[in-house]
Chain A
Amino acid sequence: MSAEVLVFDILGAIAVLAAAGVVLARNPVHSALALVVSFVNVAAIYVILRAEFLAAAQIIVYTGAILVLVLFVIMLVDPDNLPEFHGGRPVQRLLALILGLALLGEVMAAILTRTIVGQPGPWSPQAVAAVGGNTQALGRVLYSGYVLPIQVTAVLLLAATIGALVLARPDTPRVRALVRDTATISLAHPRGSEMANGVEPALPALAAGQLKLEAGERTLVMAKSGDDFLDQPVWGERHQS
């Protein structure tokens, strides 16, 4: 029982138990947690299988992004009105269990009686180390034989992002300008507003709201005496002396 196998068995066992936990947990957040544990253990197994880059990628992409998104959705969807545990009719659960075990039996049979086909590939561990490590080797392989699939994946990811944006946008764009019904009178316009009958005053001088924010800072207008600017308050950028 070499150390490698022992560690592999432990990690594998935890991964499988965690996976079972995902299925059996009552609260989806607990199942998400179990999934995190399972993914981390699988990442550790990748390291044993000398695929460090993929281990890091797995943690960054799967646990770091996808599962976080799933947790977001679980929490935004108001986690307390959840369908009851398991949900399936008992008979359905039992049937699924039997089906699963049967499938497991078949696959195990296939695994044990298989014969290795084809000769080993060029990337033996020594060759990988010579190149400088798993990342460098993977980079060479990817960008020599698989450049096209990378471009296709890039397009796929772009399409997915756009799809997500479309789905997540609120249905009706929120009306930004709230209608404000304040009684507005105008200093410069003697007639003022007839608030009683809701006539909106014509404010030629003060087109309120069209506010242009220039990039630089602002200068204040200094009034020398109490009489300056009484006809026309300094408003808008007209007064940028």
Chain B
Amino acid sequence: MSDERQIAAMPRPEPWRDTGYWGPTDPDAHPAVRAIREQFPDAYIDAYSFRDEMTVRVERPRYRDVIQFLRDHPDLQYTMLSDETAVDMLRLRDDPRFDVVAQLYSLRRRQRLRVKTGVNDGELVPSLVPVFAAAGWLEREIYDMFGIVFEGHPDLRRILLPEDWDEGHPLRKDYPLRGYREYVQPGFEAPAPRVRSRLRRP
């Protein structure tokens, strides 16, 4: 029994009960999406929802302006940056290699929103630090793990890895799981023998 048939037989996952934590699931009805569409017609790419979460994709140059607009807009008031991270979309699509993702939360309306923007290797993303001080370390971690450089970040340097780490950025998909070279443990001549894991990557 090939596994395609197996998966097909699995029950359809019923849609996530509508909690309203992210606002209406229909992109056109979502106030934030409508506001962005009319305020930034050129920067708005698309908006889609999965489970009850609403995601908006915007152009990279206007990334900071959109988020500042969402924060200052009197009805939206997305006043807290819950999290900012990046995803290396190496195998899922080719054009913009990375996605910088900002999870916003409106304390006033108790609703979340996700804003994504595509970045290629070497392009500059406008940093969110002038808008949210929380972005300081979050962006330093993105730079440390992905090598995405943020323009306007006051103090962009590695945060988790040692400052003189010269072997690239670990969370990129083309970075091997165990790193490029073996680190000999002090006191042992050869590194510990490596066990080939039989996990087959799909």
Contacts and interface: CB of A to CB of B under 8 A. Distances in A.
A183 B133 contact: yes
A192 B72 CA distance: 6
A63 to B, nearest CB: 51
A187 B107 contact: yes
Interface residues of A, number: 13
B110 interface: yes
A193 to B, nearest CB: 9
Nearest to B129: A183
Contacts of B74: 190
A195 B108 contact: no
A47 B130 CA distance: 75
B132 interface: yes
Interface string A209-241: 000000000000000001100110000000000
The size class of the interface chain B forms with chain A is 10 to 19
B72 A190 contact: yes
A190 B133 contact: no
A183 to B, nearest CB: 6
Contacts of A191: 72
A185 B107 CA distance: 12
Contacts of B132: 183
A196 interface: yes
A191 B79 CA distance: 11
**Smallest CB-CB A-B distances: 4 pairs:** A190-B74, A192-B72, A195-B130, A230-B108
Interface of A: 182-183, 185, 187, 190-192, 195-196, 226-227, 230-231
